[in-house]
Amino acid sequence: MDSRDTFLSGRAAGVVSLFLVLTVLAALAAVVVGCGGSGAVEPAAIPPVGNQPGGAMATAPSLPTPAPTLLPPSSPTPAATAAAITDPALITQATQTAAAAPPTPEIAGAATAEPPLAAAPLPTPVGVYSWTLKVPILMYHYISQPPADADVYRVDLSVTPDNFRQQLAWLRDNGYTGIDYYDLSLAIVGHIELPEKPVLLTFDDGYLDNYTAAFPLLQEYGYKATFFVVTDFVDFEREGYMTWPMLEEMSRAGHRIESHSRTHPDLRDKDRDGLIWEMLGSQQTIAAHIGYTPRYFCYPGGDYNEVTIQMLRELEYWGAATTANDTWHGFNERFEWGRLRIRNDTTLQEFANVLDLEGTARGKPPQ
Ligand SMILES: [Zn+2]
């Protein structure tokens, strides 16, 4: 042992002694504080933000506007909307149902695995990373013959019932199983397995023909679908749109009713209060009608930015649908999941080409 070792040993011994002294002092201090009755302070329970089990939705403590649906948006809105939402019975109902898990779809051909974790927030990925899954998400709007005077946009957004029936028949004949966004989320984080050939059907805007034409065909062919509705259009029973009794019936049949905002605005123009009004307001309204909090959002016009995404996170949405053309869906990109647009002039062969994705549902690590 040279002098350097001795020096280090001496230093080490000094450190140990000092540590012992400090330990004794700390113990004494603990006893003194404990006698005072104010010791052993537990960390204060931090109330969760948003829609937590136990009805925390009503408080939403960290949000500056605890009851955002009570506030009118910056743009003029019919007063009746606020009246509908301020109904205490509705709010209570929405709050009580916030933590309820979505019901099990009872459609033949639907995914049989019941999501084991359906309460908010979205469970974190199992393991080191989440999977990115390749799943075709189809985007529909109208299921009807467009009127004679329809413009090009209306025509493009319309798939005829005959074509839709052929597409469903093709899906069934080729072994596809209808899933929803809850299935997709839980599969991405590793909590459930998807069927071998999953397909996710979505309908935007809540048009009446979704109920009169698409719903019966979906039932006939055994596919569940997701309907993104604009809740003020439903509240005001706007002509040409589905009503709450229709949507409730579809929800009971196993389809999903999710949010497409309250008024279908360009969300990039909205300030924080406006975003809360559109996103939380529609979420609570749907929850009041279908019995659980919807966790998915569809951007009106496909337009969004970082601010809209951040608000969806705060409101504990689990994911969002864009109009981008994409079939890979990962956890980190869950507010920018793309879809495949099915058009009026999409032939069955084109439909088959789009769907016949080699390696559908095969997971891969995120980039
Ligand atoms: Zn839309």
Packing angle, helices 88-97 and 79-86, rounded to 10: 60
Instruction: Write out the chain's pLDDT in tens, 367 residues.
Output: 344 443 334 444 444 444 444 444 444 444 333 333 333 333 333 333 333 333 333 333 333 333 333 333 333 333 333 333 344 444 344 344 333 444 444 443 344 444 444 556 677 666 645 678 899 999 999 999 999 999 999 999 999 999 999 999 999 999 999 999 999 999 988 888 899 899 999 999 999 999 999 999 999 999 999 999 999 999 999 999 999 999 999 999 999 999 999 999 999 999 999 999 999 999 999 999 999 999 999 999 999 999 999 999 999 999 999 999 989 999 989 999 999 999 999 999 999 998 876 655 555 544 4
Q: Domain residues of the chain, as ranges?
A: 1-34, 56-355
Task: Compute the distance from residue 308 Cα to the ligand 1 centre, in Å.
Answer: 16
| CATH of span 56-355 | 3.20.20.370
Dihedrals phi, psi of 366, to nearest 5 degrees: -60, 160
Relative orientation angle of helices 272-290 and 306-314, to the nearest 10 degrees: 40
Tell me, in angstroms, the distance from the centre of ligand 1 to residue 257's CA: 14
Q: Is the Cα torsion angle 215, 219, 221, 222 positive or negative in sign?
A: positive
Provide DSSP, 295-341. -EEE-GGG---HHHHHHHHHTT--EEE-SS---EE-STTTTSB--EE
> From ligand 1's centre to the CA of 41, what distance in Å?
51
Say what the pLDDT of residue 45 is: 34
Q: Residue 261 C-alpha to ligand 1 middle, in angstroms?
A: 9
Distance 264 CA to ligand 1 centre (A): 6
Dihedral of the CA atoms 317, 137, 216, 250 (nearest 10)?
Answer: -10
Cα–ligand 1 centroid distance for 11 (angstroms): 72
- pLDDT at site 132: 85
Q: How many CB atoms are closer than 10 A to CB 264?
A: 18
Ligand 1: distance of its center to the CA of 114 in Å?
29
Residue 112 Cα to ligand 1 middle (Å): 30
Q: Which SS3 state, helix, strand or coil, does residue 270 take?
A: coil
CA of 205 to the centre of ligand 1 (A): 5
Instruction: Give 298 Cα–ligand 1 centroid separation in angstroms.
Output: 8
pLDDT at 354: 87
